[in-house]
């Protein structure tokens, strides 16, 4: 796959202003995962150019200077959660948002929190909450790379209209990758379920 790339010049302040050339190369999450490589990489060329390979697209490049990405901007300190506080509910209302939330949880590898906040109550009941949690955590740990790649492709396919919704029940909807993707991804289907709080994950198959 041909990776998109862009370059930016960064001015580093010291005693004077030294010009450092930084070249950003975009590599999608699923490419890194399928190759067994980290999502973010950095190295220097022999000519001193700093090369940053990232799964995040920074701001537009204007006049040779890149806008700062959110990661480099100063973050507003958040009030730490108090012991016993429950995390805020996820504001997820579309299938691609369910998949995005799923990928965030896979990246952080916080599978207990992912189960608690993203898996639908109906699915928890079907699995049995105590055993279901353990099975979900093991499922994510075992299949993390395949799940990440499949979720990213499903997200793209849904947004492109390539995976039309299939109604499974009054609350559950299924989205499936096109047949042209058969064999390329470990999981072809995502099922989402309607709850009072919004859409939640019911399964990846």
Q: Measured between alpha carbons, how far is 189 from 153 in angstroms, rounded to an integer?
A: 11
Same-domain pairing of 107 and 199: yes
Q: What is the pLDDT of residues 145-154, one digit of tens each?
A: 999 999 999 9
Same-domain pairing of 102 and 199: yes
- The CATH number that applies at residue 125 is 3.10.450
Lowest pLDDT segment from 30-39, 85-94, 147-156, 195-204: 30-39
Q: What is the pLDDT of residues 80-111, one digit of tens each?
A: 445 555 666 788 899 999 999 999 899 889 89
Same-domain pairing of 13 and 106: no
- Calculate the average pLDDT of the chain: 77
Same-domain pairing of 136 and 180: yes
Is 165 within a domain? Answer: yes
Of 66, 84, 105, the one marking the end of a domain is: 66
**Over 80: is that where the pLDDT of 14 sits?**
no
The string of DSSP letters for 145-203 reads HHHHHHHHHHHHHHHTT-S--EE-SSSEEEEE--GGGTTTSS--EEEEEEETTEEEEEE
Residue 113 C-alpha from the chain's centroid = 15
Q: Which domain holds residue 52?
A: 5-66
Same-domain pairing of 43 and 115: no
Beta strands 61-62; 65-66: pairing state = antiparallel
Q: Measured between alpha carbons, how far is 53 from 55 in angstroms, rounded to an integer?
A: 7
* C-alpha count within 13 angstroms, C-beta hemisphere, residue 117: 17
Q: Measured between alpha carbons, how far is 7 from 50 in angstroms, rounded to an integer?
A: 10
pLDDT tier at 158, thresholds 50, 70, 90: very high
Identify the H or E element spanning 3: none
pLDDT on residue 47: 78
| Residue 204, SS3 per DSSP | strand
Tokens 């890149």, located at residue: 66
Same-domain pairing of 53 and 134: no
Lowest pLDDT segment from 2-16, 89-103, 191-205: 2-16
| pTM metric for this prediction | 0.61
Q: 138, 58, 149: which is closest to 102 by C-alpha?
A: 149
In the chain, the number of structural domains is 2
Cβ burial 81-98 (10 Å sphere, 16+ → b, else e): eeeeeeeeebebeebbbb
pLDDT tier at 51, thresholds 50, 70, 90: confident
The values of phi and psi at residue 20, to 5°, are: -115, 130
Q: Measured between alpha carbons, how far is 68 from 61 in angstroms, rounded to an integer?
A: 10
Same-domain pairing of 58 and 103: no
Q: How far is CA 168 from CA 28, 84, 120, 173, 193, in A?
A: 31, 37, 15, 5, 10
Same-domain pairing of 34 and 120: no
Beta strands 50-54; 65-66: pairing state = unpaired
């Amino acid at each position: 796959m041909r990776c998109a790339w862009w370059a930016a010049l960064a001015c580093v302040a010291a005693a004077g202003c030294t010009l450092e050339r930084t070249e950003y190369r975009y590599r999608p999450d699923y490419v890194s995962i399928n190759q067994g490589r980290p999502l973010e990489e950095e190295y220097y060329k022999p000519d001193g150019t700093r090369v940053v390979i990232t799964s995040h697209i920074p701001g537009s490049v204007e006049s040779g200077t890149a806008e700062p990405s959110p990661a480099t901007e100063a973050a507003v300190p958040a009030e730490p959660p108090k012991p016993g506080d429950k995390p805020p509910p996820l504001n997820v209302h579309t299938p691609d948002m369910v998949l995005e939330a799923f990928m965030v949880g896979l990246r952080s590898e916080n599978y207990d929190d992912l189960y608690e906040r993203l898996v639908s109550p109906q699915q928890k009941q079907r699995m049995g909450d105590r055993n279901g949690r353990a099975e979900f955590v093991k499922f994510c740990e075992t299949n993390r790379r395949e799940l990440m790649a499949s979720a990213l492709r499903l997200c793209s396919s849904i947004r492109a209209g390539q995976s039309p919704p299939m109604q499974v029940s009054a609350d559950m909807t299924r989205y499936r990758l096109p047949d042209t993707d058969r064999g390329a991804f470990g999981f072809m289907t995502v099922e989402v379920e309607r709850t009072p709080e919004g859409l939640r994950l019911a399964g990846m198959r």
